[in-house]
Structure 1
């Protein structure tokens, strides 16, 4: 790319880093900054200006001799550099377990217990009764056994780790028989065959994508078989001409050939969802009751807790899994354990779990509650000055998300928002840049707000963001008219 004389002149006129550091030393807004932050802000400011000169020379200005303008740019950049990368967001998408937005929100009890444990010493690996070293798994093992009916339990850092650890312990160097229709990809391109290969187990597919019979497993069993594996397809569903082997059939077959049976439930669930008007989803209790030797599932999906991989099952297998050297590499930390324990305790009373765990509360929210929240938000938006904002109540469908309940549409109602002179994508990008960022969705060139995933105290945040959008976009239009 050839550079014009004007571009060369503008590049030459850019001040040096040392000169800008000297200017910053006299500015009270920049004096308190750590040196590393100041230097980074200066370098990134200069890099943006160089890029603007090279890529958009027509928009490049020549105010860089103005020290006030340069310092103002550096101050703005420094505020960005100083800001946290991990930010609280407002989820207006209607996707309850939103993987990109951190999956499940924690219950207040989990947050309080997490803060207490994180801010103080704890008995993480200390047996208070015996006065000697203990096991971190004891914090949640009794609770998991109580809730699931299993003999033993433990927790690691996520469900992929749980699957990897179990396969490595129970079937390294052995064949693992699994239905072809259950070779799922669990997100981020992590696939069951890849996890299995990394564990040292040997994949042996049986059946077809849509139909697998008991005889398919029987015919595949050999002296090299180490495990029968069943994977719940929690993130997709095969419908129509289908057949699958039941848990009870798998257990009977495993006992006949003296083979352990493992099930990966993916998005683990401890509640019968049909009681709340949702489609059926397998429960951990049902898998344990069916006699499955080892069951793995996530803590941060339908369970509504922190990211964790939970393993429940027979003591003989759990004892081996706990002593696997990989366990230390995949172990759960004290803050996650604290949040997980508090979440599990809520499940002792199902009514309390449903009312206190945000994931369950959002999934089970009824239309009157959603309409009330949508109406309050609409009133706030319509009260904003000017006539550029149009707010329309609409019916829509929310989603469970998080690789769970793929066929479930949650009937909801929300708002479609238009702003005169702005496309839906412009609205979306502006709100995404808000503090805190507000994440919605776009349908038919309308910006959609779904109240299912909104808290009552977040409604005013959205109103404030739209007020800023209206003011900012009006100012931009006015300035552009003035330039002409």
Structure 2
């Protein structure tokens, strides 16, 4: 029986109306798929399609129109496209959180993307010294930049800051004691807890002080011949207020030197610039920590620095040398992709006047409420038209946050769009809000906002080009209203 004869059974198709895999693959439209994607993928998806259609036929719910040549070719093409579509997709961040961990943290500057692409397009000198023609050290690609920017004697890099902490503890503690304030025994995302990290690294944790108050004398009394280091952890993802006391790195440095132990500081987000110069809340910098006497400072590459995921370790030549030679280093080393992006990002810091324009993270963080309102206003009327009459859209002031554990209580005056369902009461509110959020996430470039106070909020702080939102509104209206704009 030919494929076109399936309609003789009326509105429903039966199992005998299904084509063989061989017949399906010989359809002209499927031949084009075979040329584009090869036999293995197309045949596999063809078998899966026929299996699904067979199940529908056995259940008596398979429409005859579903087994016409055009329908079969179209269904197979959709399956193939879905199968090879990347799981990782670019999204539009309208959450109000600039450095959003779930959305990939910092966005790379254009110069880093161009350099990364160029380096990945062919062989590169990752571990090859072009001057001598001999084997090189991949750390050398960024070590000079890091030393110039921070004032460190030496530097090394690993794949994230958690790895930097783990490696530094393992290399410098040697199974001996590491003294830390109880107020700094932090837990960050993914249940990553400092006590567990110290244990995994082989360091014997010695807690001093209390949750809210730790004094220099607490550290002094805890140091013994078994002590390897004093470690400070910047509590960037929470803040204890009120009756508190902490000991700074500058205060600890003379004690560490006098007692012959290392002073190590985990800055976490680790900005390389004075944020206050840009009207932002102050964050400690590696430069400051090194000047205060730290032997080792660790921080992230993909937070306030604005680069790729990386753990950066800077400090004295002696301590960085021990870290670099520790066997664990090879397992945690940075690959060529983020290393290329990190090099290009760090080079921007040699040109500080360009940072606020070229570094997306800093550009978004420093936008005024009035500047954000320009983007929000551009989207307002097109969005109203797309969602009427089921939703109302208003332009409203909002508060953004830096994100990724950086300055958790500080908020940035912002502006955005508040979308509310048109309902007679609260009934159906949650369903309407979820439907809108689902539709926004289902767009070709998914739009991620947040739900608060019975509204979907779209904070426009991170919008560089409003047309990226506006050009998708016809699809949004179709998904929500069922009409073409």
The CA deviation at 1:230 is 0.5
1:434 aligns with 2:443: yes
Q: How does 1:165-204 map to 2 (within 5 A)?
A: 165-204=167-206
CA contact (8 A) 2:435 2:480 kept: no
1:31 aligns with 2:25: no
- 2:195 alignment partner, SS class: helix
- 1:31 alignment partner, SS class: helix
In structure 2, how many angstroms separate the alpha carbons of the residues matched to 1:51 and 1:194? Answer: 50
- 2:166 alignment partner, SS class: helix
Corresponding position of 2:476: 469
Correspondent of 2:134 among 132, 135, 142: 132
The CA deviation at 1:412 is 0.5
TM-score (ref. length: structure 1): 0.88
Q: How does 1:36-115 map to 2 (within 5 A)?
A: 36-42=40-46, 61-63=61-63, 66-68=66-68, 69=71, 71-115=73-117
CA contact (8 A) 1:17 1:39 kept: no
Change (3 A) 1:244 1:203: same
After superposition, what is the alpha-carbon deviation per residue over 1:127-151, rounded to whole angstroms, capped at 9, x for unaligned? 2222322211111111111111111
CA contact (8 A) 1:14 1:46 kept: no
The CA deviation at 1:40 is 4.9
The CA deviation at 1:218 is 1.6
- 1:297 alignment partner, SS class: strand
TM-score (ref. length: structure 2): 0.88
Deviates further, 418-427 or 183-192 = 418-427
The CA deviation at 1:118 is 1.4
- 2:299 alignment partner, SS class: strand
Change (3 A) 1:36 1:233: farther
In structure 2, how many angstroms separate the alpha carbons of the residues matched to 1:378 and 1:159? Answer: 40
- 1:97 alignment partner, SS class: coil
Change (3 A) 1:308 1:43: farther
Correspondent of 1:261 among 248, 263, 287: 263
CA contact (8 A) 2:27 2:73 kept: no
1:405 aligns with 2:407: yes
Corresponding position of 1:451: 460
Q: Give me the CA root mean square deviation.
A: 2.8
Q: How does 1:355-370 map to 2 (within 5 A)?
A: 355-370=357-372
- 2:345 alignment partner, SS class: helix
1:297 aligns with 2:299: yes
In structure 2, how many angstroms separate the alpha carbons of the residues matched to 1:13 and 1:22? Answer: 17
Change (3 A) 1:384 1:430: closer
The CA deviation at 1:465 is 2.7
Corresponding position of 1:285: 287
Change (3 A) 1:204 1:70: farther
1:349 aligns with 2:356: no
CA contact (8 A) 1:179 1:205 kept: yes
The CA deviation at 1:100 is 0.9
In structure 2, how many angstroms separate the alpha carbons of the residues matched to 1:383 and 1:165? Answer: 55
The CA deviation at 1:93 is 1.1
Corresponding position of 1:328: 330
Change (3 A) 1:52 1:359: farther
Correspondent of 2:312 among 307, 310, 313: 310
The CA deviation at 1:41 is 3.5
- Identify unmatched segments of 5+ residues in structure 2: 1-12, 424-430
- How many residues are treated as equivalent by the alignment? 460
1:460 aligns with 2:467: yes
The CA deviation at 1:107 is 0.8
Change (3 A) 1:144 1:47: farther
CA contact (8 A) 2:182 2:208 kept: yes
CA contact (8 A) 1:17 1:43 kept: no
The CA deviation at 1:384 is 4.8
The CA deviation at 1:428 is 0.9
After superposition, what is the alpha-carbon deviation per residue over 1:67-114, rounded to whole angstroms, capped at 9, x for unaligned? 135554433222111111111111111211111111101111111111
